[in-house]
Structures are given as structure tokens and as C-alpha cells.
A and B are shown apart, each in its own frame.
Chain A
Amino acid sequence: MKDIKQNLTQELDQTSGNPLLEENIKISCRKVNVYYHKNVQSIFNVSFDIAKNQIMAMIGPSGCGKSTLLRCFNRMNDMIEECVVDGDIKLDGENIHSKNIDPVILRASVGMVFQKPNPFPKSIYDNVAYGPKLHGLVRNSSELDDIVEESLTKAGLWKETKDCLSKAGTSLSGGQQQRLCIARTIAIKPEVILMDEPTSALDPIATATIEELMYELKSSYTIAVVTHSMQQAARISDRTAYFHLGRLVEVNDTNTVFTNPVHELTENYITGRFG
């Protein structure tokens, strides 16, 4: 562990794998630094790209900054006092921190699913309908019905809930609630879905359902997922980024990261040699 800390006092030799083609990039970060207080830096000079219609897994030990970085992608950190983000984060080539970007609109384009399912204390129908109504995406109730059905279908929840849409969202099982949250996210037609440990509170079967859903969703959306489960990252992602103490150590296609990682820190982490 001492060696690793010594290693990190210098700038890491970051391994970025095969570069993506410009037209395939959905989100790009360049030299992103995040400070929670003036003297506490939690992200150091991170640069990498997330490809369109792919799943990008962000892995690393606790406190490595992966969730902090994920929250930068839809400016969720704006709501934390004294949190400062600098560097460029671009969505489709446009800087998300530029003055003409409204964070509320940005969060509609870059939706988020959290660790614990957090449905609103409303009916299943209202949970999904809330976003489209708020953002004025519908003109009448029939259009709203269509969006609710489409979103629940995409989230793999329609068959189970079509006859009980007025039931409280909180009455569903954990896995169903998480799928409801995904349906709620996709109801406002985002381009990117951020997932912060979306299955850590679920059992293996519900986890498998969510993973299958992510696989189906990636043809329509770009997905960035933070996970503590390396097996999950290996199963579901196209590319994997490994973070350590706020630094990006390695980003590459998932097959390479899990069979022949370039950086020793990545190798140590994924083989369970330190945690």
C-alpha cells in the first residue's frame, strides 16, 4: 500500500486505450478537477471520453471519486455548496458549464438512477408521468398515456404493472422500484443515463433484470455506470475506466481491462490484491 501511495504522489501514467472517433463521442472530459472545499481536491485532472450507445463502467475502490465524477456529467454537484468543478465537460461537443446551458434542461438530457430505488410517493403512473408533464413534453392525456406505456415497456415493467398503474410506486419490490426509476428517467427522453451503483441494493435476479435492461437500452441511450461489482462491470460494459484516489488510472475496452490491463494498479484492483 505504501508503494501505491508513493506512486500516486507523481502524476500517473494514464492509459487511455484506443482513442474513440470524434463522431462516436457523446461525453468528453478534459482536465476535470473537483474540489469539495478549497483545499480538498477529490478529482485530479481527469480526461476521457464516453462513446455513444455504449455502456461505460467506472470502477475503483471507495473514495476514488467515481461517483463524484459521474455527478459532474449532469451538474448534480452544483447543488453542493463549496463544490467547485473545473475543466471541460462536453455533451455532444457543447460545454455543459457554458452560460447558455440550463442545468434543469441538461438534467433532462442526462438522467440519473441512484443506488437505492427512490420512487416518488405517488402512483406508478404518476411517477412516470411527472417528468414529461413538468418539462411540457405532452399536449394531452392520451400522449401522456403513450409515454407512460412506452417508458414502462422499455424498462421491462409494463407487463407487471399495466393493471395496477394507480398503485403506489413504493408498493413494488426493490427490483421493480428500480425499474420504475429507470422508466421515470427515460420518460423525459434523455440522451444519456447515469447510474450510480444501480443494483447494489438488489438481489441477484433483480440485478440480472436491470443488467439485461441496460443492455437493451444502450441501443437508444449512452449509459455511464458506477459499480462496486467488478463482475458486473465485466458483464455489462463496453469500456471500463479505473479510478484510484481521484485519478483516472486506465480506460480501455472492457475485454482488455479484465484480461490484460496495462497499469499495475488496475491489475491489483481487479484481481483482488488490494481493495
Chain B
Amino acid sequence: MNIQQGHISKEYNDELEQLRLQVLSMGGLVEEHFKGATDSLLKGEIVKAQNISKNDFKVNAMEVEIDEGCSNVIARRQPAAIDLRNVFAVIKIVTDLERIGDESQKIAKFASELKINIKTTKFYTGLKKLAKNAINMLSSALNCYARLDVDKATKVVQMDSTLDNEFADLNLLLTNCLIEDKKNIEDILKVMWCARSIERVGDHAKNICQYVVYVAHGNDVRHGNSE
């Protein structure tokens, strides 16, 4: 089944396409915020951090707008089969995107409060790697949604366990730093929160990919369910 194949009603096509474009546009904004947040954490770019906090309302507004669009399509069109799965996935994906926006805002807030020079710390390399992989997962997830690419989506889902392991290693390192470097406990705790948020972004990217599989094939692969 090709989702691009048109309905008899062109207006219905336009409504579904509009939803898809809105999700991609929200995804683009959220991706920008997340990249900016990690830049502010790793490179100390405070201006970016301030912009993210200032602009989070845009992400929230897009979530509300897309949800309303979905309600309208359900009420007016009673979508079925792949269209229903698509609208359902849009509702779920925007929730994940909005939460990525929130995580980005948290990272930006903590990043702007840090006093330590993060580049000289033991955990810098691990944190940078974690952020790089989470950004990669998010970008790939959005590409998978744009192209309804199930093969790639399945690979991104698998990438999450690598990210979880990296997070666990980093957490161990940060815990050791807490014991060794008592002067900077507050900052290290903030970095721990940031690492946690970055790992959560990986989880949200994984969720988005699972919805891509659901839209394309109709099977729900959440919670390790491969049926």
C-alpha cells in the first residue's frame, strides 16, 4: 500500500499531507532545539541556550495545532486502515516531539548554569558521544517518518540499546566524579540530569520509529512486541 496514492477526495489528500508537513516542520524545530541544547552544553554557547528557552512555546503551539488538525480529520473523514494508523501515529509522534522539546529546554537551562569548563572534564568525551548518537537517532527517526522507511526505522530502534549502554557507562563515570570532585558536586549533578535528558531523547526517537513501522505495516512493535 502506497500512502502517497491519492484518495478520490483531493481535499482529504491535502489534509493528510498538511498533517505530515506540520509534523516534519515541528520535527525540524525540535531537532534544531536539541542540537542547540547539546551545543550549549558541550561548547558553552549560552546564547543558543537562551533562545531555546525563549522559543519552546513554538513547539508547544505546534503540538496543539497538529492535535487539532488530527481531531478535525477524524471528525470529518473517519479515516480507516493506513489513514487511521497515520493520524494515530501523528498524535503519538507530536507528543514525543513535544517532550524532546522539553528535554532540550532542560539541557539548555542546566548548560547555562554550569560553572565548570566541561571540555576539561573526564566525562566530556562520553557526553559528546552520547549527544552525537542521540542527535543521529533523532535525525534518522524524522527521515524515517518523512519517507516511511521501515528498514531504517528498525535499525534506529536497535540503536537505542547502544545509547542506553553509553548512558550507563557515562553515569558510572559521573558517579565516580561526584566522589572524587566534591567541589563541583552541583555541576556534576546538573550534567547527570543533562545526560539523562539526552538518553530520553533517544527513547523518543525510538518511539517515533516504532510508529513508522505501525503506519507502514500495521503491527505494533512497542515494548519489544515484534508481532
Contacts and interface: CB of A to CB of B under 8 A. Distances in A.
B81 A271 contact: yes
A85 interface: no
Nearest to A258: B80
B84 A258 contact: yes
Given A260-B218, A264-B1, A267-B1, A272 B12 contact: yes
Contacts of A234: 78, 80
Contacts of A264: 1
Residue of B7, B9, B85 most packed against chain A (CB within 10 A): B7
B82 A267 contact: yes
Contacts of A272: 7-9, 12
A140 interface: no
B81 A260 contact: yes
A259 B82 CA distance: 7
Contacts of B85: 259-260
B45 interface: no
B5 interface: yes
What secondary structure prevails in chain B residues at the interface with A?
A: loop
A272 B81 CA distance: 10
Interface residues of B, number: 17
What secondary structure prevails in chain A residues at the interface with B?
A: helix
B28 interface: no
Contacts of A273: 5-8
B12 A259 contact: no
Contacts of A258: 80-81, 84
Contacts of B12: 272
Contacts of A259: 80-81, 84-85, 218
A230 interface: yes
Interface string A218-259: 000000000000110010000000000000000000000011
Contacts of B219: 260
A230 B5 CA distance: 20
A259 B219 CA distance: 10
A19 interface: no
A231 B79 contact: no
Contacts of A271: 7, 79-83
Given A271-B7, A272-B8, A273-B6, A261 B81 contact: yes
A270 interface: yes
Contacts of A266: 81
Interface of A: 230-231, 234, 258-261, 264, 266-268, 270-275
Interface of B: 1, 5-9, 12, 78-85, 218-219
6 closest A-B pairs (Cβ-Cβ)? A260-B218, A270-B80, A272-B7, A258-B80, A267-B81, A271-B83
